[in-house]
With several copies, the nearest count.
Chain A
Amino acid sequence: MNVSHTLTVTKNEDQGAGYFHLVAQAPELARAARPGQFIHVHCAPSVDPLLRRPFSFYRLRPEAGEVEIYYQVVGKGTHLLSRIRSGTKLDALGPLGQGFPLDRKAQRILILGRGMGTAPLIALAEAARTQGTEVSAILSARNSATLVGDRLLASWGVEVITVTDESGTSAPEKVEPLVAAALDRPGTAQAFVCGSRRLARLLKRLAAARGIPAFVSLEERMGCGLGGCLVCACRVRTPEGETYKRVCKDGPVFPLEEVVLG
């Protein structure tokens, strides 16, 4: 499969707080991609920055031939990306990696996201709602301006609980009862977390105690994005002991029980 695509940017909008929402035409990619997978983007046709940048799908709209990402400006690559105008062509590889293993028959799932880590969970929630699965969402952020996708989720009938550092509601001990309650809700078949090691550890413990399959989407610095260069290592526990897996190819989504959260 040729994973090289030329995306035509149709929208690249400042969302405030250094966040941007990019929409691009890429019909084949939109058809092939699944929530939790990502694209690997060359932010500028140059040697500086040299490497691609990975971004999860925020929304997939195969009917419109569009993919969407939601990103935060943190450094050189995302800065250049933020300056791209509608009509610009973007060179991207995708869809890459293993997506979220959403259970077709799940009655309800829990999504737990912090900051920009919420982005891939939005695509997941949309797929869940489309197949009729209920979604509980707990979204954490520094402040309300850096919450991602809360209104979109609400518009899909997702019950959204938001917690923020600003309001003092995001400390682990305050989030724990919320997560526990969500997991305990009848019908909750799977749980997914992204954007915070702390939240991931919390979910790992609470989900394991309840026997609910839980998954995390990890981030690591990447080279190729295709499993070829082995730089995107994450520590996992296997029957043979601890070892490294590739975030780009074996992940970015992993069963929480497998991952060694540092």
Chain B
Amino acid sequence: MKPDLGVEICGLKLKNPVMPSSGSFGLPGYEEYMDLNGLGALVVKSITLHPRAGNPPPRIAETTAGMLNAVGIQNPGVKWFIKNDLQRLRRFTPPLIVSIAGTTVEEFAQATELLEKEEGIAAYEINVSCPNIEAGGRAFGMSAAATQAVVAAVKERTRRPIFTKLTPNVTDIVEIAQAAVEAGSDGLTLINTLLGMAIDVKLRRPVLANVFGGLSGPAIKPVALRCVYQVAQAVKVPIIGTGGISSATDVLEFLLAGASAVQVGTANIVDPYIMPKIIADLEKYLEENNAASVREYIGALKTH
């Protein structure tokens, strides 16, 4: 018998636990290259209330087994998104998760209000890694209070499940996770990128026009796994794990650590066809290891 790859998170039924991470996979767009209906869920690039042009190029720097990006949440704004992208994305069968970002609590709130009126959205992901311009530019996700404020503002305005996506650039990710859950976050996504930098020695300049960028890819997997495990020990809500995942065993590592589903980011950028491969490999692995369901792995890490 084929193993069961299905998982359920906050009422979302996913036919497998693998979905793209926000910003790493063109949605809409990639339906041109492949069948999107095989994915566990669809997650769009973070949307803000107002359109954002993003940062000047270069926006990407390759690092050893990783990359830095400084896209700056370029996006057409929530109204354009609803009118154009959402129409196109509704056609697909996997649950649609809309990532919301903002630079003030009010922006998050208004974006949520607009999205809430629309059909075809299964859940929100709250990207708190944006600079909080009302509090000196530090990301919301770097403060428990700011995270709580954003989550509460979104929660008030929606009946859909919300996943707060945490940044690892903090002293205590458990504290932030607990704050998000207290404020009503139904689930958590972790992790967003690590703050990093690359330098071109010949030019004596940062590679990125923005100087700093977010580190992602295989390099950060150990940090992501640690964050997922720490948070899973401390909260009861479902976790979507992300950070450096590029294979079926990577997926199982995150499930063992306590994630109920995973997102693939940088690996999509390297190979847009990696998710279908991972899903197929996952099925094969479970079959070979006589696991009836992928759910057997969730939180099943033995530490004694």
Contact = CB atoms under 8 A, between A and B. Distances in A.
Please determine if A and B sit in direct contact within the complex, based on CB atoms under 8 angstroms apart.
yes
Nearest to A220: B57
Contact of A2 (B34, B45, B217): B34
A227 B69 contact: no
Interface string A64-100: 0000000000000000000000000001010000000
A104 to B, nearest CB: 25
Contacts of B271: 4, 42, 91
Q: What 5 A-B pairs have minimum CB-CB distances, sorted nearest first?
A: A228-B26, A231-B60, A47-B65, A231-B59, A223-B269
A230 B23 contact: yes
29 contacts: A4-B271, A42-B270, A47-B218, A50-B62, A50-B66, A50-B67, A51-B62, A51-B67, A51-B270, A93-B272, A221-B57, A221-B60, A221-B61, A222-B60, A224-B272, A226-B29, A228-B24, A228-B25, A228-B29, A228-B269, A229-B26, A230-B54, A232-B57, A232-B59, A233-B54, A233-B59, A233-B71, A242-B53, A244-B74
Contact of A50 (B56, B57, B217): B217
A234 interface: yes
B33 A229 contact: no
A227 to B, nearest CB: 5
Interface string A196-223: 0000000000000000000000001111
Given A4-B273, A230-B59, 14 more contacts: A3-B33, A48-B64, A50-B218, A50-B266, A221-B59, A221-B61, A223-B269, A226-B29, A227-B26, A228-B27, A229-B60, A230-B45, A233-B56, A233-B74
A198 to B, nearest CB: 18
Given A50-B218, A221-B60, A222-B60, A231 B270 contact: no
A169 interface: no
Contact of B54 (A4, A220, A244): A244
B268 A224 contact: yes
A56 B56 CA distance: 24
A48 B33 CA distance: 26
Given A50-B218, A226-B26, A228-B25, A220 B58 contact: yes
Interface of A: 1-4, 42, 47-52, 91, 93, 220-224, 226-235, 242-244, 249
B269 A224 contact: yes
**Chain B: interface size category:** 35 or more
Interface string B257-299: 0000000001011111100000000000000000000000000
A240 to B, nearest CB: 9
Contact of A228 (B60, B65, B74, B272): B272
A68 to B, nearest CB: 24
Interface of B: 23-27, 29-30, 32-34, 45, 53-67, 69, 71, 74, 217-218, 266, 268-273
A164 to B, nearest CB: 23
A8 B55 CA distance: 38
A230 B32 CA distance: 17
Contacts of A244: 53-54, 57, 74
B57 A243 contact: no
Contacts of B218: 47, 50
A112 B33 CA distance: 33
Given A4-B273, A48-B65, A224-B268, A229 B24 contact: yes
A103 B108 CA distance: 48
Central interface residue in A226, A229, A231, A244, by most chain B CB within 10 Å = A231
Nearest to B272: A226
Nearest to A51: B62
A262 to B, nearest CB: 9
B83 to A, nearest CB: 15
A155 to B, nearest CB: 37
B54 A224 contact: no
Contacts of A230: 23, 45, 54, 59, 71, 74
